[in-house]
Structure 1
Amino acid sequence: MSKAFPVYLVAALSILCAQAARTAAPTSSEMKTILVLGDSLSDGFQLKRSDAYPALIANKLRAAGLNFQVTNASASGGTTQGGLERLPAHLKRKIDIFILELGTNDAFRGVPVAQIQNNLQQMIDMVKARNPNVRVVIAGMQLPNYGADDYVSGFGKMFAELAAKNDAALVPYLLDGVAGDPSLSLPDGIHPNAAGQKILAENVWHVLEPIAREVATLSSRAERGTSQSESG
């Protein structure tokens, strides 16, 4: 008996350790995905990718204990047409939250607001077609002299209209607190520097955090329900 006891003890400890590992280690099914599709503001123009707000958001998610992978599919100079072309490559895996930040470069090129809005809507539709339960976050933008003419006014209102139509969350103005402040911008006066990107991250996080927590909670409940049904 004295020789056999350690064998049973080792076996019991092994089972307990394995159960603890399964509980503590995130599984691939638990990992959620956030896709960011944007232009230079999301790409971190002339900055390290780690200084751009999507990476800063990923840090905030980890610090909050939320198990999300942030995929930054943004490109400097990106337009809504370019977004339509880039998006399919990122639809091969499940998307839980979709952050859409495009349209400003179209406006700089004089693309009609209706066309910009249509392209943005197509991207939302594409993501929803593959991910019916996806949560959408739209990053709103404004052009200089907001409200000065019909085009500028229409562009500024477009993002809220898209959010309302698609039951999406809205970041009212991504550059809030940054635009017009030289200390938070690169020498071009347009793109945020590293300090400015931190403010962009806060602007997005204010909207994103409750959504991410809700998605994580719903996922956890679903997994517990599946586990209970399997054990039953």
Structure 2
Amino acid sequence: MCLFISPEVAMARTIKLVALGDSLTAGYGLQPGQGFPAVLQKALQAKGRDVSVADAGVSGDTTAGGAQRLDWAVPEGTDGVILELGANDALRGLDPAAARKYLASILDRLKARNIPVLLAGMYAPRNLGPGYYETFDAIYPDLAKQYGLVLYPFFLDGVVGQARLNLPDGLHPTAEGVQVIVERIMPTVERFLDRVERGS
């Protein structure tokens, strides 16, 4: 007896995403399961998406640090990367040109491995002055255009400046804050997943 299996069923498999980031990805100050990768995975699965989201977040990491650990942080078999780095560069007032260079290096290396990227943007603190923050903020849309990436303009959209959604340090989201991030980024992630599944 031979059972016919449609190509769609035969090809069905878990899409493996890696969230490569800093403390905003790692879930600084939160309980296990409350960080961005775990909450995003649960939300995607609730929508019927067969997706796993690995947590490759390291608290305190800069774009340079992310570039340095890229090869082991994003293992073979990864279908897509959500890249969330740059907040620590901005908080430390590091040269935006260096952040751009390291992010471009990460993107070049992932492109060489045929791994698509969703780029999560970051805004620099406004107290650094317009000369700095305008240059820094432009990194993400510029790179997204250059590399043809799906862009989520600001990872902390809806959370930054909201006391109830942040830990006492005012920098890291609470569990509720992470929920807001996931709700807001979800349409972009789903658009990215559609692109990943099409192989484009």
- Cα distance in structure 2, aligned partners of 1:92 and 1:141: 25
Match among 186, 195, 198 for residue 179 of structure 2: 198
Distance 1:49 1:171, change over 3 A: farther
Number of residue-to-residue matches in the alignment? 198
Q: Show the counterpart of 1:166.
A: 147
Name the SS for the 2:119 alignment partner.
strand
Alpha-carbon distance in 2 for matches of 1:58, 1:26: 20
Asked if 1:115 corresponds to 2:106, the answer is no
> Which secondary structure state, in structure 1, belongs to the residue aligned with residue 33 of structure 2?
helix
Matches within 5 A, 1:137-152: 137-145=118-126, 148-152=129-133
Equivalent residue, structure 2, for 1:184: 165
Deviations 1:147-173 (A, max 9, x none): 932111111111111111110111111
Deviant stretches of 4+, over 6 Å: 23-27
Name structure 1 gaps, 5 residues minimum.
1-11, 220-232
**In structure 2, C-alpha distance between the alignment counterparts of 1:43 and 1:139, rounded to whole Å:** 15
- Matched to 1:54, the amino acid is P
Q: Select 1:58's aligned residue among 33, 37, 41.
A: 41
d(CA) in 2 for partners of 1:127 and 1:145?
31
Match of 1:125? 108
The answer to whether the 8 A contact 1:146-1:156 is kept is: no
Corresponding residue number in structure 2 for 1:46? 29
Partner residue of 2:15? 32
Deviation at 1:182, TM superposition (A): 0.6
Any idea what SS the aligned residue of 1:37 has?
A: strand
Please report the TM-score for the alignment, with normalisation by the length of structure 2.
0.88
Across the aligned residues of Structure 1 and Structure 2, the Cα RMSD in angstroms comes to 2.3
When residues 167 and 117 of structure 1 are mapped into structure 2, their CA distance, relative to the original with a 3 A threshold, is same
Structure 1 counterpart of 2:60 = 77
Q: Distance in 1 between matches of 2:48 and 2:195?
A: 13
Higher percent of residues as helix = 1
Q: CA distance change for structure 1 residues 147 and 187 in 2, over 3 Å: closer, same or farther? A: closer
Q: Give the greater-gyration-radius structure (CA).
A: 1
Q: Give the Cα–Cα distance (whole angstroms) in 1 for the partners of residues 76 and 43 of structure 2.
A: 23
Identity %: 36
